[in-house]
Amino acid sequence: MTKLDEEFEEIYPKIYAFFYAKTGNQATAQDLSQDTFYEAFKNIASFNNQSTLSTWLFSIAINLLKKYYRKNKYEQSLMQKLSVIPEADVPSLEGVTEIKEDTKLLLHHISKLDEASRENVLLRIYGELSFAEIGSLIGKSENYARVTFHRLKLKIQKLMEVTL
């Protein structure tokens, strides 16, 4: 079993959750997750160990998501799509466990953030990336990613308290 195979077992659920949070669609999240690993297997020779394998895989995932948005002319309606998660798209028992109401509320509040803030939160929560990895992906320092996430977390917590 290669390192990429082992990493696949560990990170696939994180990448799927990232895509699901970004698109709100189970089938699209599955397709994009599979495409991410297909691209990784195809281009493993280009992995130069300057970052972790997880960071490299998430950079592929982010690029595929951008390509998906461009291809489907979806960027303008992204906020609208993320702000309302249709009941029909709640994952089945065979898939990911059912999204609870507080998680839906959390995703709703995350969707109200600007693009950079949303990216920071989703990479940390669903991607479970370190602040160093997030900083690397967004082109900022580790400290910037850490402080920004902390401020966003406090902001979302206050919004959640008001809503509940």
Element (H, E) at 137: helix 131-138
What CATH number does residue 10 fall under?
Answer: 1.20.140.160
| Core vs surface per residue 90-119: b (16+ CB within 10 A) or e | eeeeeeeeebeeeeeebbbbbbebeeebbb
47 burial level (CB within 10 Å; 0-12, 13-18, 19+): middle
Q: How many CB atoms lie within 10 A of CB 146?
A: 17
60-94 per-position pLDDT tens digit: 999 998 888 777 764 444 444 444 444 445 444 43
Running DSSP on this structure, what letter comes out for residue 98?
Answer: P
20-38 per-position pLDDT tens digit: 888 888 999 999 999 998 9
Number of domains in the chain: 1
Q: Are residues 55 and 123 in contact, defined by beta-carbon separation less than 8 angstroms?
A: no
Structural domain boundaries, residue 44: 3-163
Cα 131 to chain center, whole Å?
Answer: 14
